[in-house]
Amino acid sequence: MPNLELEEDYQDLSDMVRDFADQVVAPVSAKHDEEHSFPYEVIAQMGEMGLFGLPFPEEFGGQGGDYFALALALEQLGRVDQSVAITLEAGVSLGAMPVYRFGTQEQKEEWLPQLTSAKALAGFGLTEPEAGSDAGGTKTTAVLRDGNWVINGRKEFITNSGTDITKLVTATAVTGETIGKDGKPKKEISTILVPTNTPGFTAEKAYNKVGWNASDTHPLSFSNVTVPEENLLGERGRGYANFLSILDEGRIAIAALATGAAQGCVDESVKYAKQRQAFGRNIGEYQAIQFKIARMQTRAHSARLAYYAAASKMLAGKPFKTEAAIAKLVAGEAAMDNARDATQVFGGYGFMNEFVVSRHYRDSKILEIGEGTTEVQLMLISRELGL
């Protein structure tokens, strides 16, 4: 029988991040959410704790850990503040990880120490106005001229792309044409590193979002942005394929974050049900409330098992695409369903923004959309079944 107990190092990390989330993150969450302000002081402390370097080698400023360690940290942060959690998730799995996976030694040495310490953040420039789930519809172009890439185009919904400490955006762009297996021409999509101080690069006005209000998200524009040819990240023409592999890992991270959100809704509901009185009794004594919270806990537990299973296969070097899709699907729906039920438990107070459950209600919907919609996960699972 498999042992699902966390090893001591993992448990210590989880406990440390849980304490940090409760003592440092939670007290300022409502303020940053209301003001739509980026929590620089919290992110700096997370950098000092080594959270942004968890899955990277020590030679690049990392902690020498693995992706499961990152997932555990995301779960604990996601309980109290999804904006802070997604800043870490995007900073590591979407910002630094492409550089680590596909960068040259020189690129790693230049960028990773900054990114693993959170002294700098990087954005993941994939999504475009007409290329969301269909990321192969990329229209941004990069033309090689006199030893430089000249980039033109737009990106949408890019996390960590416009903060005061954002120093890099990794962008996919069409760099030519190739012939597909069917003999027809298709886009050659490559990945290019773009420092944010490059002329012609603009992080446009931040979005006014439904949730994740303390997370930084911008549309980006590239107008004759010119960077050296050596800023190509990975092999030319492999940009789309490389980013898909990054997204597979990212789905485990998002599932962990969503599991934390689902558990946070349970924890807040239990606490409230023991305090709130109605008709002379704590509402937690009523079976209707008990059963609602029991279902919430079941969802959180199932989501945790799903992302543990996906992470286990990934760390063992086995194919994990389907397991990651299942984890993302189960956990995203658990977070959204638990947020709805927690809001119902809280009644009118659940509709007030200062309460954690109200923020989870607004924040959790994007967990069914970002890094692959629910429909994309269902498509991936169906394909694995031969359908």
pLDDT score of 3 more than 80: no
Per-residue confidence (pLDDT) for residue 61, from 0 to 100: 95
Q: In the 8-state DSSP scheme, what is residue 203? A: E
Per-residue pLDDT reduced to its tens digit, 345-382 = 999 999 999 899 999 999 999 999 988 899 999 999 99
pLDDT digits (tens, 9 = 90+) for 13-36: 999 999 999 999 999 999 999 999
In terms of Cβ atoms closer than 10 Å to its own Cβ (0-12, 13-18, 19+), residue 32 is buried
Record the pTM: 0.95
Write down the pLDDT at residue 246.
86
| pLDDT digits 0-9 by tens, 47-86 | 999 999 999 999 999 999 999 999 999 999 999 999 999 9
Rounded to a whole number of angstroms, the distance between the first and last alpha carbons of the chain is 32
pLDDT tens digits, residue range 277-316? 889 999 999 999 999 999 999 999 999 999 999 999 999 9
Whole-angstrom distance, CA of residue 265 vs CA of residue 299: 11
Query: Among 106, 285, 371, 384, which one carries the catalytic annotation?
Result: 371
Q: CB burial class (10 A; 0-12, 13-18, 19+) of residue 182?
A: exposed
Confidence of residue 41 (pLDDT cuts 50, 70, 90): very high
Cα separation of 298 and 306, whole Å?
12
Distance, CA of 52 to CA of 97 (rounded, Å): 11
| pLDDT band, residue 321 (cuts 50/70/90) | very high
Sign of the alpha-carbon dihedral angle for 44, 50, 53, 59 = positive
Give 73-129 pLDDT, tens digit per residue.
999 999 999 999 999 999 999 999 999 999 999 999 999 999 999 999 999 999 998
What domains, with CATH codes, occur in the chain? 8-121 (1.10.540.10), 122-237 (2.40.110.10), 241-384 (1.20.140.10)
Residues ≥6 apart with Cβ < 8 Å to 195: 167, 168, 201, 227
- Asked about 58 being catalytic, the answer comes back as no
pLDDT greater than 70 at residue 327: yes
C-alpha to C-alpha distance for 366 and 15, rounded to whole angstroms = 27
pLDDT, residue 130, reads: 81
Amino acid in position 9:
D
Averaged over 185-200, what is the pLDDT?
A: 94
